Structures are given as C-alpha cells and as structure tokens.
Amino acid sequence: MSATMMTVDGFGVPVDVSGPDKGYYVVLLCAAQHAPAAYDTLCKRLHTAAVRTVVIGSDPRMHTKSVIAILDALEVPSGVLVGDRFGAELAWEVAVARPDRFTGLVVIDRPHPRVAEDADCAPVEVNTTALVTSPAARAMAKAGQRFVYSDFRLVEYAGRRNAEVAVAQLAAEIVLRTSTW
C-alpha cells in the first residue's frame, strides 16, 4: 500500500486509504516517526474483516481540524478512530470534538490528556479501548477512565509490541469497536 500526500493547512500529510470499497471505516493516526506503511500488516488483517482503513501520517502541526478536513476530503462519514502513541494524543482531542463522527476510540499507550498534563480536554463520550504495553501505561490509562463517559476497556498487550500476536490483538480490539452490539 502506498500513501498519497494530501495538503492540509499548508503542509503535506501522507494518507493511505485501502480495503474493501464498502467496508466500515477505521481511521488510524500514526505514531511519531511512523509512516502509514508501518501499519500495512495491521491494515491487511482489518481488510479481511471487511474494514476499510484510512491511515494518516504523523505531523506535529496536525490538530483536530486537520484530521476532520482530511476525512471530509475523503468523504469518510464515520468510523472507529485509532491513535498510536503520539497519534493517540490527537485521537482523544478529535473524539471529543466530533463524537457524532466516531463510534469507537482505540488508543495505544496514551491516557486521556487530562491525566498526563494540565490539559483542558473535555471528557470523551465515545466507547473507548485503551491498549497498554507497560504497568506505568496501565496505571495512567486506568486513571483516565474517569474522563470516558461511555464504555471503557483496558487491555494489556499479550506480547511484544511489534510481534505478530500484538498486531492480531490490536486488530481484534479495533474490530470489536466496529460492532454496534
């Protein structure tokens, strides 16, 4: 899969859209220093579950309006929002700003912004899953649960972060959030 450069707010952002044409959308905000191609294995797994993926590269200039502008340009009506570390910081803000646009939120190793710093991020009203890779991240995510006014799942990775089992576990958690049951 190859990313296309989209211009938003005067700077280029790599974006990869792939998967079944009629699939449920999953929007993934990349970790810092990760190109969309770093998520190819995850996306392939999601595609087998009839999920269409939109992977947005990381850029420190990105903000909530940038993400929404990209989704509007791509005509993505709704979906599950996934944020990986740095991307999770932005995902919290996007989910708060547009709860009507996302049916679920999956964050990796980042608690709600009000836990980690003196931020003014409002509580999120979207079903949320927090995946963690360490006891410290688990404690922070657990502290952030009070800022989730919806279903909250806290999940520890079963294996190494880059291992095949971790990719499978992340894909399973994302697919769970695509369900409306």
CA angle 15, 126, 175 (to 5 degrees): 60
**What does the domain layout of the chain look like in residue ranges?**
4-178
Pick the CATH number of 4-178 from 3.40.50.1820, 3.40.50.300, 3.50.50.60, 2.70.98.60: 3.40.50.1820
pLDDT in tens, 156-172: 987 665 567 888 899 99
The predicted structure's pLDDT at residue 136: 93
Mean pLDDT of the chain: 92
The predicted structure's pLDDT at residue 159: 62
| Nearest in space to 108 (alpha carbons), one of 124, 92, 95, 127 | 92
pLDDT in tens, 65-90: 999 999 999 999 999 999 999 999 99
The helix (run of H) or strand (run of E) holding residue 95 is helix 86-97
The predicted structure's pLDDT at residue 162: 59
- Between 23-37, 104-118, 152-166, the lowest mean confidence (pLDDT) is in 152-166
Mean pLDDT over 120-128 rounds to 94
